[in-house]
Structures are given as C-alpha cells and as structure tokens.
Amino acid sequence: MRHTRLKPTYDTVAKKIFQNKEVTKHFIADILDLPVKSVELLDGHQIRLPQDGLPRGFYTVTDILVELDDGTQVIIEIQIVKQRSFVNRLWTYICSQVHDNFENIRKEFQETHLIHERLYPVYGIALLEKNYFPDDKAFHIFSIREETTNQELTIKLKDSPKDHSLLKMAFLELDKYQPETFDKNQLKKWFEFFGNREFTAPLDKIIHQAEHALDFASWSKEEQAMFNDELDILEVNYSRIYWARE
C-alpha cells in the first residue's frame, strides 16, 4: 500500500479527491472514454459528518454534471462501494437522476415534446473494493445493446451532431487488478491510485494532484477533525462486528 492512513476509498478522502475538478474531469474522461470539456460538482463531494450516527467510510456517492466537446451535457454518478447490492444502489441513483432531470426541464418548458429532447444521459462509475463479477476482468463497462446484433442503443440530443449512449455503467474491481493485464496507462493509473497500490508507470500531473489530497498536513484543522472522528466511528463499528462474531 502507498498509504496506510488516508486511503483513497475512505469517504472523506474520496470527497477531497473529487473536489479537484481537474482530477474529476480526467478520471471521467479516462474511464468512460468521453471527450470531457468541463465538469460541475453537483452533490456528494462535500465533507461533513453524518447526523444520523451511521458509520462513515462506508460508501461515497458524487454527482457531477459533465459537458462534452460537442456541448452535450451528461450526469455522472460516481460510487465507491463496499457494501452489498451496489448494482441496485447505482441503478437507483441513475433512475432518480433521470427523474430529477425530467422534472427540472418540465418546470422550464412545460410541453412534453420539448422535455425529452433536452434530457441528459446519465452514466455511472462504481469503484469496488470487493470482487463482484465471476471472472478475472477488473474492468467492465455495460451499455444497452440488441441481443443478437450487439448494436448499442443510442439517443440524439438537441443541438448535438453525435449519437450518445443511452446508458453506461463502468465497474472497477480494485482487488482484481493486475498491471500486466492492462495496456492502457489511463486505466492503470486509476486502478493503482484508488487501489492504493504502487505505481507501475510514470505519474502525470493529474495523479500528482490527486495524490495531494492524501497529504493530511495540507488539510484544514476542521477536515482533520472530521476524518479523525470518522476513523473513531469506524473503529467502534469494527469492534462491534468482531465481538458479534466471537
């Protein structure tokens, strides 16, 4: 492991990482192979302690509005997942975002035929600490395709000359990663960064920026206090699980 204290998949640490818009922009572009022009952080990147007493470090969800090079806007849901039913959770967030988009556009335009041509595609990225798929592949991308021809279902969006995927869901199983099975550095660097592994290729400036979020000395006193409280809560819950098993 590169880091023993601030692991990239801890809730508070992940939020620090995704607060850097340049890091988030390049992460989405590399994982989903999209020509990302800019990103706007919508929700889930804020660092705050829960008011409901639930343990932190359990999962992270971040909502991002992405503008592509042709002006198309896409909503990206990023999850760092450690619990069961993560596919159900990711699908729920995607469906909820589609519904919210529809309602927001309906308030603005009223007429139904104007709403549908303005809906954003919604894609998801899941970073998994535990293996899920029954194969050796660490990286999967799913879309909606015709069963016999494998033709992808796409949509046309207003003012865009390109067809875009109706749905994309990318899954990075961090524990499965083997560097020799990847020939693209843009994927390897993210597996090694979020998997907390030693890097096998020279680091670019984006990974250096992402690594800066793991420098505890650069955090504010408030952020440091929140993270220490988060670890305390985790230790209590892990102790409860240990004694329950005993």
Contacts of 26 (CB under 8 A, 6+ apart): 36, 206
Q: Residue 170 is which amino acid?
A: A
Percent of the chain with pLDDT over 90: 37
Report, as an integer, the average pLDDT of 180-205: 90
Confidence of residue 51 (pLDDT cuts 50, 70, 90): very low
Sheet-wide strand order for 36-43: 36-43, 60-68, 73-81, 122-128, 168-173, 139-143
Q: Work out the number of other CB atoms within 10 angstroms of the CB of residue 242.
A: 9
What are the boundaries of each domain within the chain? 11-245
pLDDT at residue number 220: 86
**Tokens of residue 167, six digits:** 């749905």
Q: What is the pTM of this model?
A: 0.85
Rg (CA), the chain: 19
Strand, helix or coil for residue 168:
strand
52 vs 18, higher pLDDT: 18
Give the number of other CB atoms < 10 A from CB of residue 38.
12
Res. 230: pLDDT tops 60: yes
